[in-house]
Structure 1
Amino acid sequence: MSKPDQPANAAQPTPSPKTLILGGGPAGLYFGLLLKLARPDADVTILERNRAGDTFGWGVVFNDQTISNLMDADPVSAHTIYSEFNHWDDVEVHFKGTVTRAGGFGFIGIGRKRLLNILQDRCREVGVKLVFEHPFEDVEEEIARHQPDLVIAADGLNSRTRQKYAATYRPDIDVRHNRFVWLGVKHKYDAFTFDFQQTPHGWFQAHIYQFDAETSTFIVETPEHVWKAAGLEDMSQEDGIAYCEHLFQGILNGQKLLSNAAHLRGSAIWIKFPRVITKEWVHWEEFGARRVPIVLMGDAAHTAHYSIGSGTKLAFEDAISLVGHLKRKDFALEPALEAYVAERSVEVLKIQNAARNSTEWFEHVERYAALPPAQFAYSLLTRSQRISHENLRERDAEYLGGVESWVAEQSGLPAPDKTGKPLPPMLTPYTLRDVTLKNRIVMSPMAVYSAQGGLPNDFHLVHLGARALGGAGLIFTEMTCVLPEGRITPGCAGLWSDAQRDAWKRIVDFVHGQGAKVAIQLGHAGAKGSTRRAWDGTDLPLTDPAEPNWPLMSASEQQYLDGISQKSSAMTRADMETVKEAFVDATRRADEAGFDWLELHCAHGYLLSSFISPLTNRRTDEYGGSLEHRLRYPLEVFQAIRAVWPPEKPISVRISAHDWVEGGITPDDAVQIARLFKEAGADMIDCSSGQVSKKEQPVYGRMYQTPFADRIRNEAGIPTIAVGNIYEADHVNSIISSGRADLCAIARPHLSNPFWTLHETAKLGFAAQDWPKPYWAGQQQLERNLEREKQMQQAQAGADAALARMKAELEGSV
Structure 2
Amino acid sequence: MSLNEFTYPYDLPNNYKGPGSPIVKPGDESKPIPLTFTPITIKSLTLKNRLVVSPMCQYSSHNGEANDWHLSHYSSYAKGGASLVIFEAAAVQPEGRISYADLGIWSDEFIAPLKRCVDLVHRLGSTAGIQLAHAGRKASSIPPFLEGARNSIPSDQPNGWEVFGPSEIKFNDNMSLPHEMTKEQIKETIEAFKQGALRLLKAGFDMIEIHNAHGYIGNQFISPVSNQRTDEYGGSFENRIRFLLETITEIRSVWPTEKVLAVRLTCDEWLEDGSGWTMNDTIELVKILDTMDVDIIDCSSGGNSTKQKIKVEPLYQVPFADSVKKHTKNLFVATVGLINTGNEIEDILQQNKADIVMLARPFLRNPHFVYQVAKELNQTINYQIQYERGRE
- TM-based fold match above 0.5: yes
Q: 136, 155, 159: which is aligned to 1:548?
A: 159
Among 37, 40, 65, the alignment partner of 1:427 is 37
When the two structures are aligned, how many residues end up with a matched partner?
366
**What's the offset of the Cα at 1:731?**
1.2
1:529 to 139, 146, 153: 139
Q: Kindly indicate whether the alpha-carbon contact (under 8 Å) linking 2:297 and 2:332 is maintained by their aligned counterparts in 1.
A: yes
Contact residue 415 and residue 422 of structure 1 kept, 8 A? no
Deviation at 1:543, TM superposition (A): 6.3
Tell me the residue number matched to 1:710.
322
- Inter-partner Cα distance in structure 1 for 2:284 and 2:154: 41
Give the residue type in structure 2 aligned to 1:714.
Answer: K
Match for residue 125 of structure 2 among 507, 515, 518: 515
Aligned to 2:349, which of 733, 736, 749? 736
Rounded Cα–Cα distance in structure 2 between residues aligned with 1:481 and 1:645: 17
- Work out which of the residue numbers 675, 681, 684 in structure 1 matches 2:296: 684
Task: Indicate how the Cα distance of structure 1 residues 498 and 418 shifts in structure 2: closer, same or farther if over 3 A, else same.
Answer: farther
Query: Is residue 2:77 matched to residue 1:467?
Result: yes
Offset of residue 646 of structure 1: 1.2
Deviations 1:593-633 (A, max 9, x none): 00000111111111111110111111111111221211011
Letter in 2 for 1:432: I
Q: Distance in 2 between matches of 1:683 and 1:733?
A: 22
**1:260-339 residue pairs with structure 2 within 5 A?**
none
Q: Does 1:699 align with 2:281?
A: no
d(CA) in 2 for partners of 1:460 and 1:419?
42
Matched, 1:484 2:94: yes
Unaligned ranges ≥5, structure 1: 1-412, 782-814
Q: For 1:478 and 1:458, how far apart are their aligned partners in 2? A: 15
Separation in structure 2 between the aligned mates of residue 761 and residue 547 of structure 1, nearest angstrom: 47
What per-residue deviation string (whole Å, max 9, x for no partner) do you get for residues 671-698 of structure 1? 1111222222211100000001111101
Cα 1:723–1:770 shift into 2, 3 Å: same
Q: Secondary structure at the match of 2:327?
A: helix
Structure 1 residue 722 corresponds to structure 2 residue 335: yes
Question: Shift of residue 544 of structure 1?
Answer: 10
SS of alignment partner, residue 741 of structure 1 = coil
Please show how residues 582-661 of structure 1 align to structure 2 within 5 Å.
582-661=192-271
Mapped to 2, the partners of 1:575 and 1:543 lie a distance apart of 21
Match of 2:13 in 1: none
732 and 417 in structure 1: CA distance in 2 versus 1, 3 angstrom threshold: farther
TM-fit CA distance, 1:561: 1.1
Most deviating of 439-448 and 675-684: 675-684
Say if 2:155 and 2:161, in contact at 8 Å, map to a contact too.
no
Whether contact under 8 Å (1:469, 1:772) holds in the other structure is yes
Check if 1:567 corresponds to 2:177: yes
Partner of 1:777: 389
| Distance of 1:548 and 1:490 partners within structure 2 | 6
Letter in 2 for 1:722: T
Separation in structure 1 between the aligned mates of residue 128 and residue 22 of structure 2, nearest angstrom: 25
Q: Deviations over 1:154-182 (max 9, x none)?
A: xxxxxxxxxxxxxxxxxxxxxxxxxxxxx
Distance in 2 (CA, whole Å) between partners of 1:629 and 1:550 is: 28
CA distance in 1, matches of 2:227, 2:152: 22
The CA distance in 2 between the partners of 1:417 and 1:617, in whole Å, is 57
Q: Is the 8 A contact 2:154 2:161 kept in 1?
A: no
2:17 corresponds in structure 1 to none
Pick one of 751, 765, 778 that aligns with 2:364.
Answer: 751
- Deviation (angstroms), 1:524: 0.2
Counterpart CA distance in 2 for 1:418 and 1:658 is 48
1:538 aligns with 2:161: no
Relative to structure 1, the CA distance from residue 468 to residue 611 in structure 2 (aligned partners, 3 Å threshold; closer, same or farther) is: same
Q: Secondary structure at the match of 1:480?
A: strand
Task: In structure 2, list runs of 5 or more residues that go unmatched.
Answer: 1-20
Structure 1 residues 526 and 725, CA gap change in structure 2 (3 angstroms): same
* Preserved contact between residue 465 and residue 511 of structure 1 (Cα < 8 Å): yes
Distance 1:531 1:670 in 2: 28
Secondary structure, counterpart of 1:576 in structure 2: helix
SS of the residue corresponding to residue 766 of structure 1 reads coil
Contact 1:482/1:495 (8 A) holds in 2:
yes
Answer yes or no: is the 8 Å Cα contact 2:100–2:160 preserved in 1.
no
Task: Give the equivalent residue in structure 2 for 1:762.
Answer: 375
Secondary structure of 2:85's counterpart equals: strand
**Counterparts of 2:238 and 2:106, CA distance in 1:** 30
Task: Give the Cα–Cα distance (whole angstroms) in 1 for the partners of residues 244 and 352 of structure 2.
Answer: 28
1:343-387 CA distance string (max 9 Å, x none): xxxxxxxxxxxxxxxxxxxxxxxxxxxxxxxxxxxxxxxxxxxxx
* 2:283 equivalent among 671, 692, 709: 671
CA-to-partner distance for each residue in 1:233-276, whole Å, 9 max, x for gaps?
A: xxxxxxxxxxxxxxxxxxxxxxxxxxxxxxxxxxxxxxxxxxxx
Distance 1:770 1:582, change over 3 A: same
SS at match of 1:680: coil
Instruction: Write out aligned runs for 1:209-248 (5 A).
Output: none
Cα deviation, residue 414, structure 1: 11
Tell me the distance in 1 between the aligned counterparts of 2:326 and 2:127.
Answer: 26
Structure 2 SS opposite 1:534: coil
The percentage of counterpart residues that share the same residue type is: 37
Separation in 1, partners of 2:354, 2:378? 24
CA distance in 1: counterparts of 2:161 and 2:251, whole angstroms: 26
**Equivalent position amino acid for 1:672 in 2:** E
**What does residue range 151-162 of structure 1 map to in structure 2 within 5 Å?**
none
Mapped partners of 2:69, 2:206: distance in 1: 21
Q: Secondary structure at the match of 1:452?
A: coil
| Amino acid paired to 2:45 | V
Structure 1 segments, 4+ long, off by >6 Å, are: 543-546
Aligned-partner Cα distance in 2 for 1:548–1:753: 32
Contact kept in structure 2, 1:480 and 1:492, CA below 8 Å = yes
The one-letter amino acid paired with 1:487 is R
Q: CA RMSD in A?
A: 1.7
**TM-score normalised according to structure 2 size:** 0.90
Tell me the SS of whatever aligns to 1:636. Answer: helix
Select the structure with the greater relative contact order (CA < 8 A; seq sep ≥ 6).
2
TM-score by length of 1: 0.44
CA distance in 2, matches of 1:478, 1:561: 24
Report the CA distance between 1:647 and its aligned residue. 1.5
The one-letter amino acid paired with 1:704 is Y
2:59 paired residue among 444, 449, 462: 449
